[in-house]
Structure 1
């Protein structure tokens, strides 16, 4: 769908985006671990003046079984306002929702009723395989020239290489694989970019067989999961440089580049170190001056494992007598001030002031759930929580943070074998001083999600991880 004037949710610069009106709705991926019921997109009311605040007010079942909805995104965003964008008049209207297990891609229209998204297209796994050579679609990002979709697996049962498929902005047809020369890249996970500098960045997780049935201890201890990030020439679609973090740092997952388009740095979260079970966050940056300086990474945050009684631990962790933080998501506020780090294992959301990206300062922490702690929420103080802060989404003005508690079905079952449940929390932020406070009025959980688990959240009008900008 096109419009004659730019979508009012698009902003040319991150500074202007921080003045956007508060979101009134949130869209949440909900999935059935047993694959006996369809997955769904749940719609939450996020308007504090609404009588339905904090409740599920819309629900769209998908037509098939076994999708396992994971990461999803908008069809268009503020990058449409970049000077070279071929589609400046597209609308942020459609949700592009991949199934990580099924390799199906669903397109949902949030108009005319944003509380009742309607399924308008399903791209089957055959089209993704035939046109792009990929399977297991994972992460969606809207760029100025198309919709970028990372994928973990190859076509026709091949384990890899994983990579990036591109979808058309308007028809949503699969155009093909993005890479013209992938160099040594084989494992895939996230993709992001520095648009003004023609730089694309990718990270690594594992092939489908390495992740679909849970974490494989032998592979983890053998240091076989991903441990590098890759830099690409965005315009030429060619691999430029592989930067290895060290094979003890397993699974560098979420990429969060600076929103300021003049900057060339960003953060990547690492799930675990096999040497001490710690988690970490790394900064990528140029190693020297000038646009041709090589890329480097610097470890800027370390989060240690927490000692625990082996009797309180799942089988996978019993030999270690400790709970790993398991950093499985990070998110950067639009003003590049605060970095949020989810420690899914210990049940902690951390907030760091990263005004100086080389020297983060811890400014806030909230405990919810956790493998051992099972910390409660103020709205349900007598209800121990399973899971922990996992997917993190930050509002454009930086005042609200949303967290959901499920990681990935088989991994949930390993680390929370007594059940992970389903809950989603909102935390309020002072954008000047920092700090995090759970909102006691906003805690949809349990039956609100009809027995499904919840993963990623997208905010109506955009959020901190949806947009990239071309104007400072």
Structure 2
């Protein structure tokens, strides 16, 4: 029943996307989205207040059912259930739940497990308050040879999945797998390992106007499944982190420029302001902001443009969220639990203008399109999260007035027996709320 239901809507999505392709898939300007990190090809975008936060959550053995799950939180202040969990759907496994991504039609949310290589497809359109698991893709590793499905990035009628590892040696050499919206594997693109490429992967960011697909790099299964304390003491393991970003030709899906960015560059965020031609990232191990922009000769270059906290203390930047106007950037640092805001009006020289301690450990940060609401979750990786009292697991909502963050509510995921709160996506109550 579930798979038939999924196929019904996949066919509609495919036909719709075919029309998009005929009209010109690569638009001249990125499309506005409800979250600034979403694919520019997404339709049905939230234009006002989001109604739900979907939280992809790591299961904890002995806590509740112990499985990874998609948790739905009502986040509309006009609702009687404001700030409460209203639904939770388990996937029946514990496979290191990590990131999620919408299909281009925004009907489905894909979610991955970094350990078991499972990909779960949730219907979030039929009843946005209560998503349904409608498909499990179990052959990701077999079909692609990749491991650790991480980034889910919508293309017209397709989903590009960036991985962190491979099935051969569980190291950092990896690639991207392309699927259609029905969940059928189409092709694989290896991260380059020549001409300065290290083969590592992490995030994906696209600027259609520049025919540019930018990828970053992290580490493989052998490292991200290791206890963090043990990892820091293992000199050999520390050497196996990515130090590159790759600019791809979006239309041909071929790498065109490999840029050296030491210290594991993570999230890729293109400025969405019309006319801007740059992206920014943060390096986890060296605590730097790096700008990717064309130079005077028209060549893509990556340049260190500033520190995040005190790099000597290894604050470990983990997630960033750029404002819709490209003028500001939120940065979460995991080790010190700080949330920082940088003025990006001059992206060549970002300035930290605000900082707040938001938890013993702070990981994901997602802001609403209008920038007035900032959501923060706590879990990084099961074996990297802190121990004891510092192992806080939460989802928090803050309001932002341009000067300070004010906490609105907090959900303790451990007290609720849900597990470790990780990735956050927004949802709308009905089709009338999106356009």
Give the TM-score taking structure 1 as reference length. Answer: 0.76
CA contact (8 A) 2:33 2:369 kept: no
CA deviation map 1:363-385 (0-9, x unaligned): 3222122xxxxxxxxxxxxxxxx
The answer to whether the 8 A contact 1:204-1:228 is kept is yes
> Which of residues 225, 240, 257 is equivalent to 1:224?
240
Distance in 1 (alpha carbons) for counterparts of 2:416 and 2:56: 10
Structure 1 partner of 2:96: 68
Cα separation, 2, equivalents of 1:33 and 1:419: 16
Equivalent runs, 1:56-455 vs 2, <5 Å: 56-63=85-92, 65-76=93-104, 91-124=105-138, 127-156=139-168, 158-159=170-171, 161-169=173-181, 171-179=182-190, 183=194, 184-215=197-228, 216-217=231-232, 218-219=234-235, 223-245=239-261, 249-260=262-273, 262-273=275-286, 279-289=287-297, 293-305=298-310, 323-369=313-359, 386-387=360-361, 389-412=362-385, 415-418=386-389, 420-430=391-401, 434-440=402-408, 442-447=409-414, 449-455=416-422
> Structure 1: 5+ residue runs without aligned partners?
77-90, 274-278, 307-321, 370-385, 463-472
**Are the counterparts in 2 of residues 349 and 367 from structure 1 also a CA contact under 8 Å?**
yes
| Paired residues of 2:332 and 2:364 also in contact (CA < 8 A) | yes
Tell me if the contact between 2:97 and 2:113 (Cα under 8 Å) persists in the aligned partners.
Answer: yes
**Partner residue in 2 for 1:87:** none
Gaps of 5+ in 2: 1-8, 18-26, 36-45, 430-435
Superposition deviation, residue 205 in structure 1:
0.8
Q: In 1, distance between residues paired with 2:72 and 2:88?
A: 6
Say if 1:29 and 1:454, in contact at 8 Å, map to a contact too: yes
Match of 2:83 in 1: 54
Aligned equivalents of 1:255 and 1:403: distance in 2? 18
How far 1:336 moved relative to its partner? 1.2
Are the aligned partners of 2:215 and 2:245 in contact in 1 as well (CA < 8 Å)? yes
1:201 Cα deviation after fit:
1.0
Q: Are residues 157 and 294 of structure 1, via their aligned partners in 2, closer, same or farther at CA, if it must alter by over 3 Å? A: same
Contact 1:182 1:239 in 2 (8 A): no
Preserved contact between residue 198 and residue 243 of structure 2 (Cα < 8 Å) = no
What CA distance in whole angstroms lies between the structure 2 residues aligned with 1:365 and 1:302? 14
Cα 1:328–1:447 change in 2 (3 A) is closer
> 1:257/1:16 Cα in 2 relative to 1: closer, same or farther (>3 Å)?
closer
Q: How many residues align?
A: 391
The TM-score normalised by the length of structure 2 is 0.82
Aligned partners of 2:203 and 2:215 also within 8 Å = yes
Question: Structure 1's 346 and 201: CA in aligned 2 closer, same or farther, altered over 3 A?
Answer: same
Q: CA–CA distance in 1 between the matches of 2:193 and 2:208?
A: 19
1:191 and 1:203 in contact (8 A); partners too: yes
- 1:32 and 2:59 correspond: yes
Task: Report the Cα distance in structure 2 between the residues aligned to 1:426 and 1:225, rounded to whole angstroms.
Answer: 32
Alpha carbons of structure 1 residues 181 and 211: separation in structure 2 relative to 1, 3 Å? closer
- 1:84: which partner in 2? none
Q: CA RMSD in A?
A: 2.7
1 CA distance for matches of 2:284 and 2:190?
Answer: 27
Residues in 2 aligned to 1:198 and 1:31: alpha-carbon distance in whole angstroms: 35
User: What do the CA deviations read for 1:26-56 (whole angstroms, capped 9, x no partner)?
Assistant: 1001112438721111101111111211111
